[in-house]
A = this chain, B = another copy of it.
């Protein structure tokens, strides 16, 4: 039976879950995968934590050099996070021809091109299923499951924190601040929630997943990003009434040489499969030219779901000898023929405050018309729904598909008109 030794760098939530999974499933993997995987070393600044976990003294490494030099370590698992130490350690491991399995989205998003080059040169593997959407095998699916398809669209709920907050706001009508607080209390959100609520985490994942799906490098700097911290619970409720559920979506679309990548709060129809993905669950919805619609759903975070992805890569690396790298060019830059579209097409939900005077509505719709924005539905709400603005009348407008720039232009003109202020612009996908 094949023997494989692993080292774990960073034994926190994910690293700890990985350690426990590997130890408790050792015999199960011998039986079902014909591979004998043992943890040969662990590395963490917090020695007490390692001891509290009952990890034997002789497994606790003093530094990365000790792990690199250990001939029993075939695979190095990096679950440190961030890009400083993690990048240094991963680089050292790859240079020592050790295959690396990582859960680090920021590292892969920013440096996969560089790290893959080193891996190739040293004939070892670089695996990162756990970097995106936790336990959901989305990377394996893109590489080995739907690889026969030209994928033209990808929409994902890839961040559990924001999905939990939006679910709360939708189901209980709580406002953003309260929902965030509850998420923090439950451990779903960090003390500083910026990376999650501003869509930065989703952006890293979209960069990785869309690069794989579209076979071209999609740098995160090309991704339009908008978070959920400005979302008003009333808009969620208004949208719900007219048939839409709000989700923070990571969206990638690919047609010809045009690519449109963005992270933003989005209304989707209630009957869209993504609309019923609630709480901290994640899902990715793909459209391929042969397979049609495919969705993968599951836990996007947490010790054991993420460990499941890490261990899946370890077993894969241990049982497959081919090393397959991303097929896009090993370069941080996109290929030169790819056009990133900032002026994409979408439908829109707009909430305005308008002056309660005769003729205002006609003038407002006139401005929209001149900007090429056609209205599907318009609905005036009772005065006083928004405390501070109780004098003005909320007006909800949904539009046909139109260009992002046309809507931006219309919003600027409406705000300048003195008749209305545009309070919310939410894109609608179907």
A10 adjacent to chain B (CB < 8 Å): no
Contact between B308 and A288, CB atoms less than 8 A apart: yes
**Copies in the assembly, this chain:** 2
Answer whether residue A21 sits at the interface, using C-beta atoms and an 8 A cutoff.
yes
B308, A298: Cβ atoms closer than 8 Å: no
Which of A87-95, A181-189, A314-322, A374-382 lies at the interface? A314-322
Specify which chain B residues have a CB less than 8 angstroms from the CB of A146 in the assembled complex: 135, 137, 308, 312
Please determine whether A294 and B296 come into contact, CB atoms closer than 8 angstroms.
yes
CB distance from A325 to the nearest CB of B (A): 11
Is A304 part of the contact surface with B, judged by Cβ < 8 Å? yes
Q: Which of B17, B28, B292 contacts A299 (CB 8 A)?
A: B292
In the docked arrangement, what's the CA distance between A315 and B144, Å? 8
Interface range for A: 35 or more
Closest chain B residue, CB of each to CB of A135: B291
| A149 at the binding interface (Cβ < 8 Å) | yes
Contacts of A315 in B (CB 8 A): 147-148
CB pair B150–A28 under 8 Å, yes or no, is yes
Chain B's nearest CB lies how many Å from the CB of A75? 13
Of the candidates B17, B281, B295, B324, the one whose C-beta lies within 8 Å of that of A297 is: B295
- B148 touching A311, Cβ below 8 Å: yes
**Residues on A facing B (Cβ under 8 Å):** 17, 21, 25, 28-29, 31-34, 129, 135-137, 140-141, 144-150, 215, 271, 273, 276-278, 281, 288-299, 302, 304-305, 307-309, 311-312, 314-316, 319-322, 324, 327
For the complex of A and B, the 7 pairs showing the least CB-CB separation, nearest first, are A137-B145, A148-B311, A135-B291, A291-B308, A294-B298, A290-B308, A295-B297
